[in-house]
Amino acid sequence: MNHTSADSPSDLDRHLSGFLGYEMKRALAVLQADLTRVLGALGLRAVSFSALSVIVQTPGLTQSALADALQIERSNLVTLIDELAGRNLIMRAPVAGDRRRHALMPTAEGQNLAREASAAVEAHENRLFAGLTAEERHELQRLLTKFRRTA
Amino acid sequence: MNHTSADSPSDLDRHLSGFLGYEMKRALAVLQADLTRVLGALGLRAVSFSALSVIVQTPGLTQSALADALQIERSNLVTLIDELAGRNLIMRAPVAGDRRRHALMPTAEGQNLAREASAAVEAHENRLFAGLTAEERHELQRLLTKFRRTA
DNA sequence: TATTGTTATACTCTATAACTATA
DNA sequence: TATAGTTATAGAGTATAACAATA
Question: pLDDT tens for residues A102-123?
Answer: 999 999 999 999 999 999 999 9
Interchain contact, A21 vs B28, CB within 8 Å:
yes
Give φ, ψ of A104 to 5 degrees.
-85, 120
Q: What DSSP letter does each residue of chain B carry, written as one string?
A: --S----SS--TTTTGGGSHHHHHHHHHHHHHHHHHHHHHTTT--HHHHHHHHHHHHSTT--HHHHHHHHT--HHHHHHHHHHHHHTTSEEEEE-TT-TT-EEEEE-HHHHHHHHHHHHHHHHHHHHHTTTS-HHHHHHHHHHHHHHHHH-
Kind of pairing between the strands at A90-95 and A98-106:
antiparallel
Interchain contact, A143 vs B140, CB within 8 Å:
yes
| CA–CA dist B128, B52 (Å, integer) | 23
Q: Which positions 47-106 on chain A have a beta carbon less than 7 angstroms from any atom of strand C? A: 47, 72-73, 75-76, 97-100
Q: Extract long-range pairs of B86-91: CB within 8 Å, 24+ residues apart.
A: B87/B43, B89/B52, B89/B113, B90/B52, B90/B55
**Per-residue pLDDT for B5 more than 80?**
no
**Per-residue pLDDT for A37 more than 70?**
yes
Residue A120 distance to chain B (closest CA, Å): 12
Confidence of residue A9 (pLDDT cuts 50, 70, 90): low
Confidence of residue B9 (pLDDT cuts 50, 70, 90): low
Whole-model pTM: value is 0.93
User: Which class for A32: exposed (0-12), middle (13-18), buried (19 or more C-beta within 10 A)?
Assistant: middle
* Residue of B128, B131, B144 whose CA lies nearest to A137: B144
Count of other CB atoms within 10 angstroms of residue B81:
20
Nearest nucleotide (CA of A62 to C1'): D4
In tens, the pLDDT along B65-95 reads 999 999 999 999 999 999 999 999 999 999 9
Through-space separation of residue A3 CA and nucleotide C12 C1' in angstroms: 41
Predicted local confidence at residue A10, as pLDDT: 75
Predicted local confidence at residue B83, as pLDDT: 97
Through-space separation of residue A66 CA and nucleotide C17 C1' in angstroms: 21
Among chain A residues, CA nearest to B49: A16
Among chain B residues, CA nearest to A20: B141
Q: Name the residue among B24, B69, B122 with its Cβ closest to that of A12.
A: B69
Count of other CB atoms within 10 angstroms of residue A69:
23
In tens, the pLDDT along B105-137 reads 999 999 999 999 999 999 999 999 999 999 999
A78 Cβ contacts chain D strand, under 7 Å? yes
In tens, the pLDDT along A50-96 reads 999 999 999 999 999 999 999 999 999 999 999 999 999 999 999 99
pLDDT over 90, % of chain A: 93
Interface A–B counts its CB contacts (< 8 A) at 171
- Sign of the dihedral through C-alpha A21, A32, A115, A80: positive
Q: Which positions 31-50 on chain B have a beta carbon less than 7 angstroms from any atom of strand D? A: 45, 47
B10 Cβ contacts chain D strand, under 7 Å? no
Nearest nucleotide (CA of B74 to C1'): C5
- The arithmetic mean of pLDDT across residues A24-46, rounded, is 97
